[in-house]
Chain A
Amino acid sequence: MKVSRRDLLAGAAGVVAAGAAGAAQSQDPPADPSKVRGRPSRALGQRAATEKPQRQPRGATSSGTPHQDLYGTITPSDLHFERHHGGVPEIDPKNYSLLVHGMVERPTIFTLADLKRFPAVSRVHFLECSGNFGGRGTATELTPQQIAGLTSTSEWTGVALATIFREVGVRPQAKWFLAEGGDAALLTRSIPVSKAFDDALVAYGQNGEAIRPEQGYPARLFLPGWEGNSNVKWLRRIELSDRPFMTREETSKYTEPMADGTARMFSFLMDARSLITYPSYPVTLTRGWVEINGIAWTGSGKITRVDVSTDGGATWTAAKLQEPVLSKAHTRFRHLWNWSGGEAVIMSRAVDETGYTQPTRETLIKSRGVSGVGYHINPVTGWRVRQDGTVIYNAEPWA
Chain B
Amino acid sequence: MSARVLGAAIGAVGCVAIAMAQSPAGSQAAKEPATLGIGRPATQAEIAARDIDVGPDGVGLPPGKGTAAEGATIYAGRCAGCHGKTGKEGPNDVLVGRIPNDEFPFVRDPRAPKTIGSYWPYATTVFDYIRRAMPPDKPGSLTDAEVYNLTAFLLASNDLIPQDAVIDATSLPKVKMPAHDHFKPDTRTERPGRSGGSGRSSGSEKSGRSGGPVK
Contact = CB atoms under 8 A, between A and B. Distances in A.
Interface string A47-89: 0000000000000000000000000000000000000011000
Contacts of A243: 55-57
B204 A261 contact: no
Nearest to A109: B42
A266 interface: yes
B92 to A, nearest CB: 12
A259 B214 CA distance: 30
B213 to A, nearest CB: 6
B175 to A, nearest CB: 13
Contact-size category for B:
35 or more
Interface string A369-387: 1111100000010000000
Contact of B107 (A172, A259, A358): A259
Given A185-B139, A186-B139, A245-B55, A169 B122 contact: no
Interface string A234-251: 001101010111111001
Given A184-B133, A266-B185, A269-B186, A170 B3 contact: yes
A370 B104 CA distance: 14
A174 B7 CA distance: 13
B24 interface: no
B212 A366 contact: no
Interface string B172-184: 0000000100111
Contacts, number: 259
B208 A165 contact: no
A247 B125 contact: yes
B136 interface: yes
Interface stretch (B32-40, B69-77, B80-88): B32-40
Interface stretch (A207-215, A288-296, A311-319): A311-319
A269 to B, nearest CB: 4
Contacts of B201: 258-260
Given A184-B139, A255-B183, A307-B214, A117 B38 contact: yes
A257 B111 CA distance: 13
B56 A246 contact: yes
Given A86-B136, A271-B196, A359-B205, A166 B7 contact: yes
Interface string A312-342: 0111111000000000000000000000000
Majority SS of interface residues in chain A?
A: loop
A205 B167 CA distance: 45
A107 B42 contact: yes
B51 A101 contact: yes
A178 interface: yes
A105 B54 CA distance: 22
B108 interface: yes
Interface centre among A117, A184, A367 (most CB of B within 10 A): A367
A265 interface: yes
Contacts of B31: none
Contacts of B184: 262-265
Interface centre among A166, A262, A268 (most CB of B within 10 A): A166
Interface of A: 85-86, 99-101, 105-111, 114, 117-119, 162-163, 165-172, 174, 178, 180, 184-188, 197, 225, 236-237, 239, 241, 243-248, 251-252, 255, 257-269, 271, 299-301, 307, 309, 313-318, 349, 354-360, 363-364, 366-373, 380, 399
Interface of B: 2-4, 6-8, 11, 32, 34-36, 38-42, 46-47, 50-57, 104, 106-111, 114, 116, 119-122, 124-125, 128-129, 132-133, 136, 139-140, 179, 182-186, 188-189, 193-198, 201-205, 207-209, 211-215
Given A108-B39, A355-B209, 12 more contacts: A86-B136, A101-B42, A107-B47, A237-B50, A243-B55, A245-B53, A251-B122, A259-B107, A259-B201, A260-B202, A314-B212, A380-B208
